[in-house]
Amino acid sequence: MSQRAFLYNLQTIDNQIDKILDRITSIDKKISFNQEIVDSEKELKSIQASLDTKKREIGETESQSNLLSKKLKQNNDAMYAGKIKNPKELQSVEEESASLQKRIKVFDDKIFELMLESETIENQLMTHTQKHQQRLATKEREDQNLLLERHSVMEALEKLKIEKNPIEKQIKAELLQKYALLRETRNKLAVATVSEEACSACGNMITPAEIQKIKSPIDEYYCQICKRFLYHG
Ligand SMILES: [Zn+2]
């Protein structure tokens, strides 16, 4: 086998290795980050925050209402106990009680409204929590499949590395360096083949005389245009 034949075989293996490495990177990325779940968590927190705000508002309104109810009770107790004798004072206490009742009603109406709003948010939270849990479960299943796939491509990778070793040993160090540089600078393709009398990488036409040279066992032969190794399979 010529040096270029070995290089061509090496490239075939390197391409498979690259494909596997890309897949592993993409698997790891998928496992570690999921935009859908990040968004879902954000949404969940925001619903929870608005529920907390609503509950706080209810609490504050209730304590305001309770304060007024206490005052009203004091007025009523005083009236029923007959402690207030002065008619003018009695009238003023009665007026105050009426005003208190009105204000309490306003607060109670507000509490009722807030309770309804809070219930709506609670329902949203429940629905969203369920959806979120479903998403998490789906991701877990997906992750398990991805981990299985990762395991099997890692095995394939190890096999390829074992396959690659003896081929590499057949190639001169200087050519391996050239090959590595070409792969780096020529879109991972260091060795092109002759296909329909042209370079398979750049399409440069190749004469029959050149093809003879390419078929010969000389170590190096490059495409004149793209400067890749040319190999005739
Ligand atoms: Zn070319």
pTM for the whole structure? 0.77
Look up tokens 């507000």; give the residue.
110
Length of the chain as a residue count: 233
Q: Which of 80-94, 154-168, 197-211 has the lowest mean pLDDT?
A: 80-94
Calculate the average pLDDT of the chain.
Answer: 96
Position 85 confidence tier, pLDDT thresholds 50, 70, 90: confident
How far does residue 172's CA lie from ligand 1's centre (Å)? 22
How much distance in Å is there from the Cα of 135 to the middle of ligand 1? Answer: 49
Q: How confident is the model at residue 79 (pLDDT cuts 50, 70, 90)?
A: confident
Counting residues of the chain whose pLDDT is more than 70, the rounded percentage is 100
Q: H helices of 81-197, where? A: 87-170, 173-185
Q: Ligand 1 centroid vs 20 CA: distance in angstroms? A: 27
Distance (angstroms) between ligand 1 centre and the Cα of 39 equals 48
Taking the C-alpha atoms of 112, 117, 121 and 126 in order, what is their torsion angle to the nearest 10 degrees? 40
First to last CA, the chain: 11
CA of 211 to the centre of ligand 1 (A): 13
**Phi, psi angles (nearest 5°) of residue 126:** -65, -50
- Return the closest-CA partner of residue 232 out of 4, 16, 10: 4
Q: Which two tokens stand for residue 229?
A: 């190794």
Instruction: Give the pairing of strands 191-195 and 198-199.
Output: antiparallel
Q: Residue 1: its pLDDT value, please?
A: 84
CA distances from 38 to 41, 164, 221 (A): 5, 41, 53
Q: Distance, CA 225 to ligand 1 centroid (Å)? A: 5
Structure tokens at 47: 């619903």
- Per-residue pLDDT tens over the stretch 14-45: 999 999 999 999 999 999 999 999 999 999 99
**Band (151; pLDDT cuts 50, 70, 90):** very high
CA 199 – ligand 1 centroid, Å: 5
How far apart are the CA of 197 and the centre of ligand 1, in A? 11
Contacts of 106 (CB under 8 A, 6+ apart): none
Residue 97: predicted pLDDT? 95
**194 alpha carbon to ligand 1 midpoint, in Å?**
9
* Exposed/middle/buried for residue 189 (C-beta within 10 Å: 0-12, 13-18, 19+): middle
